[in-house]
A and B are shown apart, each in its own frame.
Chain A
């Protein structure tokens, strides 16, 4: 299953967005691509500009600091859901 990461513009982030990517890289194989099964949008704040702009069937939105466990759980849940949906 392919996992992609897309960052918002980072004008005034409320936390270190890179930490989300670091966690993702530790647990999954990810790429900077939208042509993926699950697209993770890393927003710097709760405004979550990307969520308004990007169209993708399987999106995970991050807009505030999350623990490593929470990030991993969310991605795994999304993978499970997608796995169920696929024939």
Chain B
């Protein structure tokens, strides 16, 4: 297993084509714009070596028996599923940001299950092929970017109906030694600082979409892969210093990129689905369930930092004992822990699939994520309420560091006498980072938008059974247990 430093060093061996602000990034490991995201991902490696965290950060490979980073592990029990979300909360708390590596983990787990199921139906050998790839990932402790979301073009049309056939990633050529793929995947977390890209279909497919039912893995610097690193609110602040960033070390959300597959060759040993359109929805649903499971872990870890920041700024301002502040902080904790309950619940209610891998309860995982499309907005609102309007009006770090103006800012941004002004500014900036920037839309749309969760919840709502219970309680249907209790077995 690599440690954090070794992970950063390992990125130097790859030469991905990455563009940002009109320029090519020459070294992912050395770019100041990418640094916070690289650091956050590095924590997934570093903590695996810390005796204080290794119990959740590591696992035993079911394929090799070796100790591996849990981010490459296929869950072998419900306890594994629980440890996964514990790992998410730990890392959210440690970084106050997105550490990106869960997407690749979820892609690995979803492919493990679906390749097994495809082989059962068609007699293909995807599962064995995938296991070989998995061992390679585990042995080399690689970070994989899970690339699911296609750019989609006209959302009302299926992949094969699009005016431009490249709106969904597709196979453009089948060769003896592999396939050639073309298309693009959007909003891919941690893509530029991963070692591998694992591409999955993004939706259910029909027979005419056969060429779009494709899953594969390529190194990030495979020929023809071009990435565009996305902009974030206030991203240029990281070039000015560290205070105004709020979280200079780990940034905010995952550092997403648009990945273009410009006729990329994929050898057969790295192809895990090719034309089995009837398994596209299973793969999507399985991946989505794993990914939605996470959000009551990672986002709650980030909420721990925001709640801490809100409590600290209340102290710095001298209002920590005001009843409305105590009430707001308590409400934030309640919201966060409710989401934590959801992640734990869907994990404990997980089940064994025919492949042997465990997956979370589908209904509860979707409930988890639907709450995350809402509750972070509320705990961010409360944080903004507690910190005050200064969260949007604080003078810049450059004015604070300017010897001509520093004294004035020191004096007039002071809170309680015993708290350094810089501490107060840093805490305000952290709250700004966590409650105003990209964090909120990521909560909304990461792992799928609310409508996607609603569809899954409705599908599993089991209203017929609930109606039956209602009819029994209302006295419309017989209630045998009641009849026995009352000795009225023959009356109803």
| Interface residues in chain A, defined as those with a beta carbon under 8 Å from any beta carbon in chain B | 13-16, 45-48, 51, 63
Contacts and interface: CB of A to CB of B under 8 A. Distances in A.
Interface residues of B, number: 9
Contact of B465 (A16, A46, A48, A51): A16
Given A13-B465, A45-B349, 11 more contacts: A14-B460, A16-B465, A45-B351, A45-B361, A46-B361, A47-B350, A47-B351, A47-B361, A48-B351, A48-B352, A51-B352
Contacts of A47: 349-351, 361
B462 interface: yes
A16 B361 CA distance: 19
A63 B460 contact: no
A63 B349 CA distance: 13
Contacts of A45: 349, 351, 361
Interface in B174-215: none
A14 B462 contact: yes
A45 B349 CA distance: 9
15 contacts: A13-B465, A14-B460, A14-B465, A16-B465, A45-B349, A45-B351, A45-B361, A46-B351, A46-B361, A47-B350, A47-B361, A48-B351, A48-B352, A51-B352, A63-B351
A83 B351 CA distance: 30
B224 to A, nearest CB: 41
- Chain B contact residues, majority secondary structure: loop
A45 B361 CA distance: 9
A72 to B, nearest CB: 21
Contacts of A13: 465
A75 to B, nearest CB: 19
Nearest to B359: A46
Contacts of A51: 352
A30 B352 CA distance: 27
Contacts of B460: 14
Contacts of B351: 45-48, 63
A46 B289 CA distance: 14
A47 B468 CA distance: 23
Of A15, A16, A45, chain B has the most CB atoms within 10 Å of the CB of: A45
A14 B351 CA distance: 14
A14 B336 CA distance: 28
Of B351, B361, B465, chain A has the most CB atoms within 10 Å of the CB of: B351
B465 to A, nearest CB: 7
Contacts of A63: 351
A12 to B, nearest CB: 9
Contacts of B349: 45, 47
Contacts of B352: 48, 51
Interface in B307-345: none
Nearest to A14: B462
Contacts of A14: 460, 462, 465
A15 B468 CA distance: 11
Contacts of B462: 14-15
A13 B468 CA distance: 12
A8 to B, nearest CB: 12
A61 to B, nearest CB: 10
B361 A15 contact: no
Interface in B433-492: 460, 462, 465, 468
B144 to A, nearest CB: 27
Contacts of B465: 13-16
A47 B365 CA distance: 14
A48 B351 CA distance: 7
Contacts of A15: 462, 465
Nearest to B361: A47
A46 B465 CA distance: 17
Nearest to A43: B351
A16 B350 CA distance: 20
A65 to B, nearest CB: 10
A19 to B, nearest CB: 11
Nearest to B462: A14
Nearest to B363: A14
Interface string B141-178: 00000000000000000000000000000000000000
A15 B464 CA distance: 9
A63 B351 CA distance: 10
B77 to A, nearest CB: 10
A51 B468 CA distance: 27
Interface string B343-360: 000000111100000000
A46 B359 CA distance: 10
Nearest to A64: B351
A62 B244 CA distance: 57
Contacts of B350: 47
Contacts of B361: 45-47
Nearest to B362: A46
B50 to A, nearest CB: 32
Nearest to B353: A46
Which 4 A-B pairs give the minimum distances between C-beta atoms? A46-B351, A47-B351, A47-B349, A14-B462
